[in-house]
Amino acid sequence: MSAQLTQSSGHAIIERRGFQQLLDALRSQGYRVVGPTIRDGAIVYDELHAESDLPIGWTDQQEAGFYRLKKRDDRALFGYAVGPHSWKKFLLPPELRLWQARRGENGVEFVETRTEPVRLAFLGVRSCELHAIAIQDRVLMQGKYVDPSYAMRREGAFIVAINCAQAGSTCFCVSMNTGPKADRGFDLALTEVLDADRHYFVVEAGTESGQKVLQTVTHRVAAEDELACAEAIAAETAKHMGRQLDTAGIKDLFYRNYENRRWDDVAKRCLTCANCTMVCPTCFCTTVEDTTDLSGENAERWRKWDSCFTLDFSYIHGGSVRSSAKSRYRQWITHKLATWLDQFGTSGCVGCGRCITWCPVGIDITEEARAIRDSERS
């Protein structure tokens, strides 16, 4: 995926009216296209059959514990921030059968579940999400062991990034150095430009396969002013982050504050509902369930998303290690912002703001981190 664009400028223009061709091109190359679409009053990620499945002319309003869809006064295809879904639902499915076992005359036989190679094209991946995918790659593909199902899905994925043209009010990718402009990890990256009288996409190919797809779509070389326009959009978005998080010395800040009164404070609000971990694009924790059928002869192992907010998560014989809400919130935020750095050489937070928006009581990771930092000043 490291091949560079052969064209000199590296950037192309696809007109709005030619956008459907991009979907068609991906589908004709054998990809199932998934991307943003409206369902149950939110913008989620699901299969797209046509460009009309996109949330055209819609945007979202987000605040801590608040999410609403709203009509835009234009017909933008990607005029919103991230919703409750992330691409991890495709790469690390919420439920996955790992193997089956059968008890027969020769004892027990274990059979790995080999799913057909899935080739997904992700359409509309935000920069923060590219970083989130790269983080999960480290966890699941770049250690001593490789999760074969993740690797298969990951390697088969085609990524069309979209540079954010507006920041959500819970976004803080600038603080986390993960956006808003996609700088790596995509096959194609788009910037949607809506002028008074024009609607087009500035396209950058990041890989050879991206270039190949681009070649099958009507496009032309981008002009200087069009490129400048795209750059200006990203720069403008960067200025309007709804949240900020000071990451200076953040690892040691949390390592110094395993004991802090703020944990009691947040525990009074936290419902330990696990929403933040479900919507988080980097949270990777899972459980396994071993089951048998009624005959008792066939067994299966399923892997399911799990959360450090459940009591069961830390259960060892005798009881749960993290029985209090405060210890579970502390584990989550300390993992995201501090221990992740030691574990994987990167922060576990990409500043997408989902955990803030989807927390039923509006607990804000940036506010909690600030409170911990401020507590050292007094």
Partner 1 sequence: METLEGILSEHPFFSGLEERYLKLAVGCASNVRFDAGEFIFREGEEANHFYLIREGKVALEIFAPSRGSLTIQTLEDGEILGWSWLIPPYQWRFDARAVETTRAIALDGRCLRAKCEEDHDLGYELLKRFASILGHRLDATRFQLLDIYGVAI
Partner 2 sequence: MQLDFSFWIFMALPFDLNIARSEPMLPRPFSVKQVVRDTHDTFTLKLQPKGESVAPAFAPGQFNMLYVFGAGEVPISISGDPSKPKTLVHTTRAVGMVTKAMSSLRRGDVIGVRGPFGSCWPLEESAGKDVVIVAGGIGLAPLRPAVYHLLSQREKYGKVALLYGTRSPNDILFKQELEQWRARFDFDVFVTVDRGIDGWRGSVGVVTTLIPRAPFDPAGAVALLCGPEVMMRFTVMELQKRGIAADRIYLSLERNMKCAVGFCGRCQFGPSFICKDGPVFRYDAIRDLFGKREI
Q: Which of 126, 262, 322, 336 binds partner 2 (CB under 8 A)?
A: 322
Start-to-end CA span in the chain (Å): 50
Q: How near is the Cβ of 71 to partner 2 at its closest, in Å? A: 40
Which C-beta is closer to partner 1: that of 41 or that of 318?
318
Give yes or no for a contact between 372 and 254, defined as CB atoms under 8 angstroms apart: yes
Binding mask 241-280 for partner 1 (x = CB under 8 A): ----------------------------------------
Please give the size of the binding site for partner 2, defined by CB under 8 A: 58
Vertex 313: Cα angle to 312 and 316 (nearest 5): 70
289 burial level (CB within 10 Å; 0-12, 13-18, 19+): exposed
Q: Counting contacts by CB under 8 A, is residue 196 touching partner 1? A: no
Q: Which of 343, 345, 360, 361 binds partner 2 (CB under 8 A)?
A: 343
Smallest CA-to-CA distance from 90 within 55, 45, 30, 37 is with 45
Measured between alpha carbons, how far is 360 from 276 in angstroms, rounded to an integer?
9
Extract the tokens encoding 209: 């396969």
Give yes or no for a contact between 314 and 320, defined as CB atoms under 8 angstroms apart: yes
Give yes or no for a contact between 153 and 137, defined as CB atoms under 8 angstroms apart: no
Which C-beta is closer to partner 2: that of 131 or that of 335?
335
Q: Which does 319 bind (CB under 5 to 8 A by kind): partner 1, partner 2, none?
A: partner 1
Q: What is the DSSP string of 312-326?
A: GGGEETTEES--SHH
Q: How near is the Cβ of 129 to partner 1 at its closest, in Å? A: 40
Q: Which does 139 bind (CB under 5 to 8 A by kind): partner 1, partner 2, none?
A: partner 2
Q: Which DSSP letter does residue 335 get?
A: I
Binding mask 240-269 for partner 2 (x = CB under 8 A): ---------------x--xx----------
Residues numbered 85 to 144 that lie near partner 2 (CB under 8 A) are: 98-99, 101, 103, 106-110, 112-113, 139-140, 143-144
- Supply φ then ψ for residue 182, to 5 degrees: -70, 125
Q: Which of 13, 171, 270, 308 binds partner 2 (CB under 8 A)?
A: 308
> Which amino acid is present at 153?
R
Measured between alpha carbons, how far is 112 from 98 in angstroms, rounded to an integer?
6
**Residue 99 CA from chain centroid, whole number:** 27
Measured between alpha carbons, how far is 192 from 160 in angstroms, rounded to an integer?
12
Give yes or no for a contact between 69 and 60, defined as CB atoms under 8 angstroms apart: yes
Extract the tokens encoding 251: 């690892």
Q: Which does 140 bind (CB under 5 to 8 A by kind): partner 1, partner 2, none?
A: partner 2
Which C-beta is closer to partner 2: that of 190 or that of 333?
333
Binding mask 311-330 for partner 1 (x = CB under 8 A): -----xxxx-----------
Q: Which does 56 bind (CB under 5 to 8 A by kind): partner 2, partner 1, none?
A: none
Which C-beta is closer to partner 2: that of 40 or that of 116?
116
Residue ranges of alpha helices (H) inside 121-269 are 127-141, 148-155, 173-176, 208-215, 224-239, 250-256, 261-269
Return the range that interacts with partner 2 (CB under 8 A); candidates 47-55, 178-186, 220-228, 313-321. Answer: 313-321
Extract the tokens encoding 351: 């500043």
Binding mask 181-220 for partner 2 (x = CB under 8 A): ----------------------------------------
Quickly count helices (H) and strands (E) in the chain: 14, 16
Q: Which does 143 bind (CB under 5 to 8 A by kind): partner 2, partner 1, none?
A: partner 2
Q: Which residues contact 229 (CB under 8 A, 6 or more apart)?
A: 193, 195, 202
Which C-beta is closer to partner 2: that of 3 or that of 321?
321
Q: Which residues bind partner 1 (CB under 8 A)?
A: 316-319
**Residues at the site binding partner 2, with contacts judged by CB under 8 A:** 98-99, 101, 103, 106-110, 112-113, 139-140, 143-149, 151, 255, 258-259, 284-288, 290-292, 296, 299, 301, 303, 306, 308, 313-318, 321-324, 326-327, 330-331, 334-335, 338-339, 342-343
